Amino acid sequence: MRAATAVCSALVLTWVGPVGAARAEAIAAEDAPKTVDAPTIATPSLDAPPMKVDAAEKTAKAAALTPILPSPRNPLRPAFQLYAEIDLPILAVGLVFAEARLVRSQPAFCGTTVGTTIALPCNRGDLNALDRTTAGYWSPGWQTASDYGLYAVGVGAAALLFADEGILPGLNDSVVVAESALAATAVASIMTLAAGRPRPFLYGDKGGSARNGADAGLSFLSSHTAISFAIATSTLVTMRRLHPGSKLTWIVAGVGGAIATFVATARVLGGMHFITDVVGGAVVGTSIGVIVPSLHGSPVSIVPVAGDGQHGLALVTRF
């Protein structure tokens, strides 16, 4: 891990006597000053001026990342190591991108109304055969159901992490899940604004005042679906780190996938998205749900222990 981190504990798994444990502790102690307590620079030559060495160490220290400290009491929690210089800007940019859809002011290019008359109906012939099957759909009830489904997957993910890890480690790992959701929102916002595709209800005669709103031209892709799958997938990746090989991960995958699929289906039945919109959202959300957690290192590292008359592994956590 980074030089700014500190070794907080070591759990030794050994199968030949207590010598392995002593050796593991020695390795952790020897490793700490070089890789944790002080910034790492290239080994200076014997005749290197002390002032230049000191300047190099200060430069390395200034470039070191600042860890966002979770609770260090459990050596197996949390799943991710956060850094202020990386995660806080990601959250900030994600929040700004999430608001991008709100600044759009122009309505869709077809299907709008003047009074009670549809001035420029959308042509179903412009759609592919699959999306044509849901053209004209409109159901406020299913739209509300999709909102509740999105809330359920988000609250459920946070509740699972807090219940499994405790408050601080759970909050730490929830940040990574939130980053996945915001990243999915950002990608969806860019694509919907670029595509400007009319929503399915504009191909029928329903929708009322929504037909003239700026949101009516933001069909591709489904942000609800992208966010739901991003949360479900990133939560699954988190649980796999916390419980490798556990059947719990299959339960998380099944429940999270089912809720995200429900959200996607409800968006189609509600007339807010075509089938290709939600399929694209599912692909984007799942992909981001894998990528974002994978970019975060774990605060836990395994150090091999070997020597005369002993073997083992030292599990070292760093914060």
Report the chain (319 residues): mean pLDDT per 10 consecutive residues. 35 37 43 44 80 83 79 75 90 88 88 84 94 97 98 98 93 95 94 94 93 94 97 97 93 97 98 98 98 88 58 51
Alpha carbon distance 12, 225 (integer Å): 43
- Reading the block at residue 304, the tokens are 């091999």
Q: What are the residues facing 114 on neighbouring strands?
A: 117
Mean pLDDT of the chain: 83
What is the C-alpha to C-alpha distance for residues 259 and 308, in angstroms, rounded to an integer?
A: 54
* Residue 49 in tokens: 């001026």
Per DSSP, the three-state class of 318 is strand
Q: What is the pLDDT of residue 162?
A: 96
Q: What angle do CA 35, 38, 39 make, to 5 degrees?
A: 80
Cis peptide preceding 221, ω within 30 of 0: yes
Q: Helix H segments across 243-274?
A: 248-269
pLDDT for 307 equals 56
Contact between 165 and 242 under an 8 Å Cβ cutoff? The reply is: yes
Instruction: Report strand pairing: 82-83 vs 67-68.
Output: antiparallel
In whole angstroms, what is the distance from residue 263 CA to residue 72 CA?
37
CB within 8 Å of 72: residues ≥ 6 apart: 8, 9, 317, 319
Could you give the CA distance from residue 76 to residue 308 in angstroms, rounded to a whole number? 29
**Alpha-carbon distance 216 to 206, whole Å?**
12
Write down the number of H helices and E strands in the chain.
9, 7
pLDDT of residue 240: 95
Greatest extent of the chain over all pairs of C-alpha atoms, in Å: 88
Residue 151, number of CB atoms within 10 A of its CB: 11
What is the rounded CA–CA span in Å between residue 59 and residue 138?
60
DSSP for residue 9: E
Residue 121 near residue 204 (C-beta atoms within 8 A):
no
Q: What is the DSSP letter of 213?
A: S
Are 190 and 102 within 8 A, CB to CB?
Answer: no
Contact (Cβ atoms closer than 8 angstroms) between residue 192 and residue 227: no
Q: Which two tokens stand for residue 4?
A: 């700014």
The C-alpha atoms of residue 181 and residue 154 are separated, in whole angstroms, by 9
* pLDDT digits 0-9 by tens, 113-152: 887 788 888 999 999 999 999 999 999 999 999 999 999 9
- Please report the pLDDT score of residue 235 as a whole number: 98
